[in-house]
Structure 1
């Protein structure tokens, strides 16, 4: 098991290196001048040159990348052009909120999706199958930002049960985690969980239906095993694929929550990234995208190791 984990870790290193290059280059090929957000329109050429030298924008791209990745490896992602604050500090505070939101949404989506998918697979072809499949299809099809606005109108505006936006009394530091914080978390977590719920439900439905049609399950029934014992074998065979899908969805939610966080003004990395895009804040853009990409790579590594632990056949392959 240890050898398998080390092999997967070695595979991650070149992937992480390639991701860092893509993150760096995507920002620099985008149009616009990042200093336009802080310099007046009539700034002198001398002042512009000083600012470019201060932020290292006057150096060749290869030198800029080398210095950036070296500082990033030491936890220094630069200084925000728009606010003058440490990029690492801003991302660290926002990452706590994004991780909590993504985990909450994944747990909700995985629980509901597994339940619906399992029911649809066991009772395939019947009314329960059609109902569960319809709910999962609706979850995949509904735009989540639209759903977020509908939930705000219903539960915040009309009913007044939950707050419409914000991150709770702890603000953006994410340290005041309690019931007040959870109240702000409910609506964005439910909104983000809809798409993973639909994907997981459809995946598990196909897995369960396929496993139940295989010869070994029919042999178990012929030997006289009870239904719950047979279903236990079905769950064990479906678990590796289900965990893989859940891990991918968690990675997507960590990196793709910008719309939801903007709708609910949730102080996470997506909200931070949205603000950096409008202000053309290159250090924040680069640092946030790099951190989100590394989160995705790390989640995939963990999923690979967990899969290998559950199913030894993966290690042998």
Structure 2
């Protein structure tokens, strides 16, 4: 297994390199000038050119990439054009809200979706199954921002149970932290509940027709034990896989959700950086998301052998 892990880790190096090159080229070949954004509407051409020279944007693209890649290899993410701060400081200051939202979202999704999927498979063809599948279709069909505004209107404006927007760090009090995290986490978890519940239903339904399930029932074992110990455990590999795929969707969902709920996380930072054409910040955030995505998928691959001992690396 150690050799497999090393090969996978080495394989991430060219992947991250390709991502870095593509992001670098896409940002610089698209219309827009960060120097003009920084200078403002009333700036003269000379002022804009002076800012371009100061930021190094007047140099060839290959030279710019070489300077950025060299700094990156030395652990220097650079300085933000727009925020005038070290990008490392920016990311550290914004990572807590995003991490809290992501963890809360996946906890809600997994704790709700897996029992729903198992129940739908057990009650295959019943009204419970139809409701779960209908919810899955609805969860995929409705955009995240629509769900967010709907929940804000119902639970924040109409009922007044929860705050409309904002974020409170956990150091400011756990009650306020949870209170402001519930709405965005539930909003973002809807699509993952739909995705995971649908996959859980399909996997468990396939396993329920196996011979060892009939044998367990013939031995008189409790149905709940059959469903969760025998069926769910043997159906876990595709479920874990789809949870890993959900991490990719989570990156895009965080950007939209943080914008809707005014959460000062990495998603909001990405939006602000894109609007300001802040090249170094956008590149650093995308690379961070890429590293996290690769690491989580590696962890999921290694977890397969825990659910199915027949899998060897």
User: How far is the alpha carbon of 1:202 from its aligned partner?
Assistant: 0.3
Name the SS for the 1:125 alignment partner.
Answer: coil
- Per-residue CA deviation, residues 143-167 of structure 1 (Å, 9 max, x unaligned), is 2211111111111112221111111
Q: Report matched runs for 1:35-184 at 5 Å.
A: 35-40=35-40, 41-45=42-46, 47-168=47-168, 170=169, 175-176=171-172, 178-184=174-180
**What residue ranges of structure 1 are gaps of 5+ in the alignment?**
none
Q: Which residue does 1:257 correspond to in 2?
A: 254
Q: Partners in 1 of 2:74 and 2:221 — Cα distance? A: 57
CA RMSD of aligned residues (A): 2.1
Contact 1:254–1:295 (CA under 8 A) maintained in structure 2:
no
Query: Cα–Cα, structure 1 residues 308 and 8, in superposed 2: closer, same or farther, change >3 Å?
Result: farther
Q: Partners in 2 of 1:300 and 1:310 — Cα distance? A: 16
Name the SS for the 1:315 alignment partner.
Answer: coil
Q: Partners in 2 of 1:256 and 1:71 — Cα distance? A: 30
User: How far is the alpha carbon of 1:54 from its aligned partner?
Assistant: 2.4
Q: Which residue does 2:213 correspond to in 1?
A: 217
- Per-residue CA deviation, residues 210-234 of structure 1 (Å, 9 max, x unaligned), is 1111233234434554434432111
Q: Partners in 1 of 2:196 and 2:139 — Cα distance? A: 10
Comparing 82-91 with 215-224, greater Cα deviation is found at: 215-224
Q: Which residue does 1:29 correspond to in 2?
A: 29
- Per-residue CA deviation, residues 30-85 of structure 1 (Å, 9 max, x unaligned), is 1111111112444343x444422322212222222222123234432222222211
Name the SS for the 1:124 alignment partner.
Answer: coil
Name the SS for the 2:312 alignment partner.
Answer: helix
Contact 1:254–1:296 (CA under 8 A) maintained in structure 2:
no
Q: Report matched runs for 1:9-24 at 5 Å.
A: 9-24=9-24
Q: Partners in 2 of 1:113 and 1:163 — Cα distance? A: 26
Query: Cα–Cα, structure 1 residues 228 and 33, in superposed 2: closer, same or farther, change >3 Å?
Result: same
Q: Partners in 2 of 1:179 and 1:49 — Cα distance? A: 50
Q: Partners in 2 of 1:99 and 1:74 — Cα distance? A: 26
What TM-score does the superposition give when structure 1 sets the normalisation length? 0.90
Comparing 253-262 with 201-210, greater Cα deviation is found at: 253-262
Q: Partners in 1 of 2:259 and 2:43 — Cα distance? A: 33
Q: Partners in 2 of 1:177 and 1:306 — Cα distance? A: 35
Query: Are residues 1:187 and 2:183 paired?
Result: yes
Name the SS for the 2:77 alignment partner.
Answer: coil
Q: Report matched runs for 1:220-231 at 5 Å.
A: 220-231=216-227
Q: Which residue does 1:272 correspond to in 2?
A: 269
Contact 1:103–1:250 (CA under 8 A) maintained in structure 2:
no
- Per-residue CA deviation, residues 173-218 of structure 1 (Å, 9 max, x unaligned), is x754621122111100000000000000000000010111123323
Q: Partners in 2 of 1:48 and 1:226 — Cα distance? A: 74
What TM-score does the superposition give when structure 2 sets the normalisation length? 0.91
User: How far is the alpha carbon of 1:92 from its aligned partner?
Assistant: 2.0
Report how many residues are paired.
311
Q: Which residue does 2:238 correspond to in 1?
A: 241
Name the SS for the 2:180 alignment partner.
Answer: helix
